[in-house]
Structure 1
Amino acid sequence: MKDEGRRMESAAGSPGVRFRFILGPSVVLGILLSFTGIMPAQETQTPPRTQENPQRDQRILVDVNLVTLRFTIRDQQGRFLNTLTRDQFRVFENQEQKEMAFFEAPSNKGATQAGPLFLAFLLDVSGSTFATRSEEIIAAQTFFDNIHQVTQLGIFGFTDKLIPFQDFTSERGPALKAFAEARQHLGQTAIYDSLSQLMDRMGNRAKQSDRKVVILVSDAMDKAYAKWRALAAKAKSNNITIYTILVPSAAQLYIGNAADSEALPSQALKAGQEEAFARLALDSGGKSFAGFETILDFDQTLAQIDDDIYGNLYSVGFYTDNPYLDKTERQIRVETLQQGAKVSALFQNLPERLSQKKKYISALFDAGSLSRLSEATGLQFEEIGAELDVLPSDREGGQLGLPFRIKISPFSLRGSRKEGVRTQFGIIGLLLDRQGREVVRLREFFRASLSPKEIEVGRAIIYTNKLFAPPGRYDLRLAVLELASWRVTAFQSPVEIVENR
């Protein structure tokens, strides 16, 4: 094969980032396709963080086993039942009844809804936020099952203009289908112009007195962010409440915060854009959500918005005996003793290794959090079928480095044999010296695609890289994350970099 052993340079020309197609007589063929943009090199060293706040750590230890559920109850006519009491519910985990740790009834005691409500999702489909789309889709299914029947749902996207995927409808099926099928379009990010067009569209469909809500999902990277104040005023005058959800920018994901590239906005510009995005929501009477927790717990973000709009959610909690179960291994159901009542789909906040897993995921989106990665060693993660091969150290371009290779089995990923695999991965890692100090750090994202035929003939996904450091003994810590599922496989291995003469 002509591509055997061929290295593919990063667009930034960094010697630290390599991808390779590999083929040998007894080796599975590795394919890595469709990586985008400029790939980041190893990030610059920062001083290690001091010990965390002990009170915060204690809180995590106490609450790590707590599972929280939020849901609505309807009667046979579809009307909300918001006055049920604690003793009318039963909670089960894997067929075992659990004792409720807390119970909270809905805030909207009368289950009233003052007239029709027009609710629009406005999704950034410029391509800059697609790393989080699968989380949004899964959460939207639960959200749609918990909203009031009088709600008119609309699904819209935007690049440099408004894109209607589904005009306002009372049918949940078409709205969910449109949400799931919203695809990337070419164009720049024009948040505020697109929002203005959507407001005009809502004004043409709804009465002035009708409640109107926009849930805006974007990375906030619009250079025209100074328009936020005028848009917030327009929203208030038209009885429109805006909720903003800030998700990571693909430019930052693929380039990395430490990269030296003109494609990245300055920190001042980025801060201004994000502040405008938040103020847009707050000044309209809505709320703003940001931070990596918003991505990891997208289900809970939409639960908070749902409860803020309607106030029909019950909240219950219980302590699980096994906080380390994956979602696929945890079957939770809520039953009510109220005759004829139906429990909606559940907003679930599951522990599943939460305190440790969040450190890995945080490190992908925040360079500062990467300095705390060395703390995330209390649990083993083997949720993706992956193997690490550390290769003999060698010199390249006058620098001494440690090559390594990660081989990912497609059979451990979604899709696999019948549909093929199309997914994204994040790689994060640290090389620590014998005193636990950071020497090299690594953070980047890549996309992988395998057809059913390629999987059938035994092809796998292979990622290769090299960490440059002086001779010595080190502790290598790496983690592979699949963005679609947030599943993690982590590696920790003692390594030695030696001068081979």
Structure 2
Amino acid sequence: MKDEGRRMKTTGPKFPPFGCFNLHPLFLVVLFVCPALLGQDTRERDQRIQVDVNLVTLRFTVRDQQGQFLNNLTEDQFRIFENQERKDLAFFDAPSNIGGRGGPLLLAFLLDVSGSTFATRSEEIIAAQTFFDNIQEVTQLGIFGFTDKLIPFQEFTSERAAALKAFAEARQHLGQTAIYDSLAQLIDRINSKAKKSDRKVVILVSDAIDKAYSKSASLVAKARANNITVYTILVPSAAQLYIGNAVESNETVPAQATKTSQEEAFARLAVGTGGKHFAGFETILDFDQTLAQIDDDIYGNLYSLGFYTDNPYLDKRERQIRVECSHSGARVSALFQNLPERLSQKKKYISALFDAGSLSRLSEAGGLQFEEIAAELDILPSDREGGQLGLPFRLKISPYSVRGSRKEGVRTQFGIIGLLLDRQGREVVRLREFFRASLSPKEIEVGRAIIYTNKLMAPPGRYDLRLAVLELASWRVTAFRSSVEIVDN
């Protein structure tokens, strides 16, 4: 690479000149990996994917004017519109709870707010809004968090607005993780509140990292003895995300065997109590679908409809979907939406944030064009650090293209993923990192930007650099690809 740097721009929205607001990453992670050869999909699989990515799936409830569920409606009583255009139904599934009846229920969310799961909170909060609109009126909601102890954000209430407010504020605490002790305390709290005839459910969201995971069996027994069903949602740990498959061990990250045991113990909380366990990057990417499955398992009141869209890559903000019901006085709830852009090849980028193995498949997405965030990539002259040669770069992100406003400022989170490939297409270096960004209205007004800097360590040579930045709250992506050269000056 020549001494002068190079700049790559997206063709997305332009932004005004800005000064430098230097935002240093929480951790610097550059991982050296063994070469990996990538296979090609078969034609049959390509055709199946082509069909699937055009399918939009909707799940919702319907109530009458008295707030009672209408679960016996037929397909011909529904019409779907996408951006004012009527769509044909691709499939129709009626609710499993035909009568729409349900008894009193105490439903507790138990959220890991230890700080290690911050990367997924935006998705959880957005999905909770739809979830709360689709539950039965006889449900009492409780919102609890935990670090090293149980934190009551909202005691059991029938007020949905209060529960949602508490859910959103449940990200303000930091600390260690005590899953099993907190669940034990919550079970005792539920029993002190519940009547004998009440159903009792806990939805537990955590990264499963707790040294006391051997308590899982006793917690299963305690929950079963008290007729409490537990649903577990495994979300990625920030520690796992920062470190990935680092060659050198880090004492703050559990060994792989211990990590596996922790996750298995966490899953047994659900399996052993009659609930369900959810894991994998798709659980986070489509968090509303995870809650939809739990909702339907608990209540059985969801209709499922599907239609094929003409534009599978349309941004969610530009896709207006409406469901109409011809039944007199019927009200359709907020929609659980499984949209095509979340089933498309954008998943290759997003999955790489949560799964180290998926990073090796990032090169498959190299030909895709995502320019949804206004950003500039500066390739800087190669230099040495600690005796190692590296390729430094700087990513400049406009605050006008991310979540926030000039009036309120910007508070958001980003993921950075990247690969450095040699001339034969083999991986030499991979990068995966999360960081937070915050700009005040005044900083935006004077033209400051979000600046991310890093360095990829590699021997001298010519390489193919592939880099993507994702905003977690919206899953918007901008991707870069560039031929670079590292030289030993």
TM-score range for the pair, normalised by the shorter chain length? over 0.9
Alignment partner for residue 108 of structure 1, among 85, 97, 106?
97
Distance 1:402 1:233 in 2: 54
Distance 2:29 2:18 in 1: 27
- For 1:203, the equivalent position in structure 2 comes to 191
Alpha-carbon deviation of 1:230? Answer: 1.1
TM-score (norm: length of structure 2): 0.93
Distance 2:30 2:463 in 1: 19
Does residue 138 of structure 1 match 2:126?
yes
Does residue 237 of structure 1 match 2:225?
yes
User: Is the 1:216–1:244 contact (alpha carbons within 8 Å) kept by the matching residues of 2?
Assistant: yes
Q: 1:307 and 1:388, CA in 2 relative to 1: closer, same or farther beyond 3 A?
A: same
User: Is the 1:256–1:444 contact (alpha carbons within 8 Å) kept by the matching residues of 2?
Assistant: no
User: Is the 1:210–1:239 contact (alpha carbons within 8 Å) kept by the matching residues of 2?
Assistant: no
User: Is the 2:72–2:98 contact (alpha carbons within 8 Å) kept by the matching residues of 1?
Assistant: yes
User: Is the 1:209–1:239 contact (alpha carbons within 8 Å) kept by the matching residues of 2?
Assistant: no
Q: List per-residue Cα deviations over 1:315-334 (Å, max 9, x = no partner).
A: 00000000011110000010
Alignment partner for residue 411 of structure 1, among 400, 405, 429?
400
- For 2:309, the equivalent position in structure 1 comes to 320
- For 2:12, the equivalent position in structure 1 comes to none
Distance 1:135 1:215 in 2: 16
- For 1:361, the equivalent position in structure 2 comes to 350
Cα RMSD over matched residues? Answer: 1.7
- For 1:473, the equivalent position in structure 2 comes to 462
Q: 1:35 and 1:473, CA in 2 relative to 1: closer, same or farther beyond 3 A?
A: closer
User: Is the 1:43–1:443 contact (alpha carbons within 8 Å) kept by the matching residues of 2?
Assistant: no
Alpha-carbon deviation of 1:60? Answer: 1.6
Alpha-carbon deviation of 1:55? Answer: 4.8
Alignment partner for residue 148 of structure 2, among 150, 160, 166?
160
3-state DSSP of counterpart to 1:325: coil
Q: Percent identity?
A: 80
Mean CA deviation greater in 91-100 or 447-456: 447-456
Opposite residue 393 of structure 2, the aligned amino acid is F
- For 2:263, the equivalent position in structure 1 comes to 274
Distance 1:390 1:27 in 2: 19
Alignment partner for residue 129 of structure 1, among 117, 120, 134?
117
Distance 1:232 1:99 in 2: 46
Alignment partner for residue 194 of structure 1, among 182, 188, 192?
182
- For 1:216, the equivalent position in structure 2 comes to 204
Alpha-carbon deviation of 1:161? Answer: 1.2
Question: Residues 37-52 of structure 1 correspond to what in structure 2 (within 5 A)?
Answer: 38-52=27-41
Mean CA deviation greater in 273-282 or 44-53: 44-53
Number of residue equivalences: 473
Does residue 30 of structure 1 match 2:20?
yes
Distance 2:271 2:50 in 1: 33
Distance 1:320 1:82 in 2: 26
User: Is the 1:155–1:166 contact (alpha carbons within 8 Å) kept by the matching residues of 2?
Assistant: yes
Distance 1:55 1:294 in 2: 26
Moved over 6 A (4+): none
Opposite residue 129 of structure 1, the aligned amino acid is T
- For 2:253, the equivalent position in structure 1 comes to 264
User: Is the 1:247–1:295 contact (alpha carbons within 8 Å) kept by the matching residues of 2?
Assistant: yes
Question: Residues 67-78 of structure 1 correspond to what in structure 2 (within 5 A)?
Answer: 67-78=56-67
User: Is the 1:216–1:243 contact (alpha carbons within 8 Å) kept by the matching residues of 2?
Assistant: yes
- For 2:241, the equivalent position in structure 1 comes to 253
Mean CA deviation greater in 452-461 or 469-478: 469-478
Opposite residue 236 of structure 1, the aligned amino acid is R
- For 1:372, the equivalent position in structure 2 comes to 361
TM-score (norm: length of structure 1): 0.91
Unmatched tracts of structure 2, length 5 or more: 1-15
Alignment partner for residue 83 of structure 1, among 72, 75, 78?
72
- For 1:343, the equivalent position in structure 2 comes to 332
Opposite residue 235 of structure 1, the aligned amino acid is A
Distance 2:28 2:377 in 1: 21
Mean CA deviation greater in 338-347 or 395-404: 395-404
Alpha-carbon deviation of 1:417? Answer: 1.1
- For 1:7, the equivalent position in structure 2 comes to none
Distance 1:404 1:39 in 2: 13
Alpha-carbon deviation of 1:53? Answer: 6.2
Q: 1:475 and 1:236, CA in 2 relative to 1: closer, same or farther beyond 3 A?
A: same
- For 2:165, the equivalent position in structure 1 comes to 177
3-state DSSP of counterpart to 2:389: strand
Q: 1:74 and 1:351, CA in 2 relative to 1: closer, same or farther beyond 3 A?
A: same
Mean CA deviation greater in 425-434 or 468-477: 468-477
User: Is the 2:25–2:452 contact (alpha carbons within 8 Å) kept by the matching residues of 1?
Assistant: no
User: Is the 1:92–1:334 contact (alpha carbons within 8 Å) kept by the matching residues of 2?
Assistant: yes
3-state DSSP of counterpart to 2:346: helix
Distance 2:58 2:467 in 1: 33
User: Is the 1:85–1:105 contact (alpha carbons within 8 Å) kept by the matching residues of 2?
Assistant: yes
User: Is the 1:356–1:378 contact (alpha carbons within 8 Å) kept by the matching residues of 2?
Assistant: no
Mean CA deviation greater in 247-256 or 447-456: 247-256
Distance 1:116 1:97 in 2: 38
Q: 1:275 and 1:54, CA in 2 relative to 1: closer, same or farther beyond 3 A?
A: farther
User: Is the 1:403–1:467 contact (alpha carbons within 8 Å) kept by the matching residues of 2?
Assistant: yes
- For 2:11, the equivalent position in structure 1 comes to none
User: Is the 1:384–1:413 contact (alpha carbons within 8 Å) kept by the matching residues of 2?
Assistant: yes
3-state DSSP of counterpart to 1:355: coil
- For 1:4, the equivalent position in structure 2 comes to none
Q: List per-residue Cα deviations over 1:192-219 (Å, max 9, x = no partner).
A: 1111111111111112331100000000
